[in-house]
């Protein structure tokens, strides 16, 4: 009996160590390049740690975490979805750290020319033919920022029936890359990663809410020592900060 208890305890300890060596990060799609590079560098320094990355729109990730997805760290593209999980008691308010900022830009295919003036006097709808892509305007952060800018510039009504709303900023980028949309409203960092589009203009910061990326340990993650360590690396280590800046984010 005693031998059986010892064996059972050893199995439990083994499972505990194995579980602790995995860190699950749920991050906004626009963070794909930067967070992937940070994770791979961290794994090289700490070979016993496996960082599992899940990228999607912040809205989708937040809802997954709400329903029990095993996330240790949530890295959102806006404060609203972070606040949502705080209210759902999946994240403690004290864990939330605003980390990065970004810009909202207009992109067009490389071969196209398009004028752009961020003014309510400029007729944006008549400046191009076809569709403009962005994220879903009621949920996906980039789409929410886009709607705010279009509304404040008084351009939204003129684009009725010509806005394609996608499930993430990377999907919106892909639509413009393929020529299915003649323009797109995405983050500057995403536009910089593509060789098939160019930036036609920047939407002034005063036309939308500040584009801030908060990061936080989930309730699950706060109990995972490896997640706590990786969170510290992601948010405070000089190497990670350089990677964010390389991909166009501002700290």
pLDDT range class, residue 26, cuts 50, 70, 90:
very high
Note the pLDDT of residue 15: 40
> Is 228 exposed, middle or buried, given 0-12, 13-18 or 19+ CB atoms closer than 10 A?
middle
Q: How confident is the model at residue 115 (pLDDT cuts 50, 70, 90)?
A: confident
Residue numbering of the annotated binding site for molybdate: 30, 58, 169, 187
| Amino acid 21: pLDDT | 87
Q: pLDDT: is 9 or 94 the higher one? A: 94
Annotated binding site: 30, 58, 169, 187
d(CA 187, CA 103): 6
Q: How far apart are CA 108 and CA 199, in angstroms?
A: 7
What is the pTM (predicted TM-score) of this model?
0.88
Domains of the chain listed by start with CATH number: 21-99+210-245 (3.40.190.10), 102-200 (3.40.190.10)
């Amino acid at each position: 009996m005693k031998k059986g208890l010892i064996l059972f305890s050893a199995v439990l300890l083994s499972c505990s160590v194995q579980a602790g060596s995995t860190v699950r990060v749920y991050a906004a799609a626009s963070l794909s390049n930067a967070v992937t590079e940070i994770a791979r560098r961290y794994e090289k320094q700490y070979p016993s740690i496996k960082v599992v990355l899940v990228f999607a729109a912040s809205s989708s990730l937040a809802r997954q975490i709400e329903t029990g997805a095993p996330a240790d760290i949530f890295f959102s593209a806006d404060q609203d979805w972070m606040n949502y999980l705080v209210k759902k008691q999946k994240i403690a308010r004290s864990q939330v750290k605003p980390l990065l900022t970004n810009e909202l830009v207009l992109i067009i295919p490389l071969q196209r020319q398009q004028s752009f003036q961020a003014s309510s006097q400029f007729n944006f709808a008549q400046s191009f033919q076809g569709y403009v892509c962005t994220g879903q305007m009621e949920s996906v952060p980039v789409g929410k920022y886009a709607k705010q800018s279009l509304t404040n510039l008084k351009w939204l009504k003129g684009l009725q029936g010509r806005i394609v709303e996608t499930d993430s900023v990377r999907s919106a980028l892909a639509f413009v890359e393929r020529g299915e949309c003649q323009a797109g409203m995405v983050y500057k960092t995403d536009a910089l990663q593509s060789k098939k589009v160019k930036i036609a203009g920047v939407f002034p910061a005063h036309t939308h809410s500040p584009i801030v990326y908060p990061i936080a340990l989930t309730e699950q993650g706060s109990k995972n020592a490896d997640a706590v360590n990786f969170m510290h690396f992601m948010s405070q280590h000089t190497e990670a900060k350089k990677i964010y800046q390389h991909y166009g984010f501002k700290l």
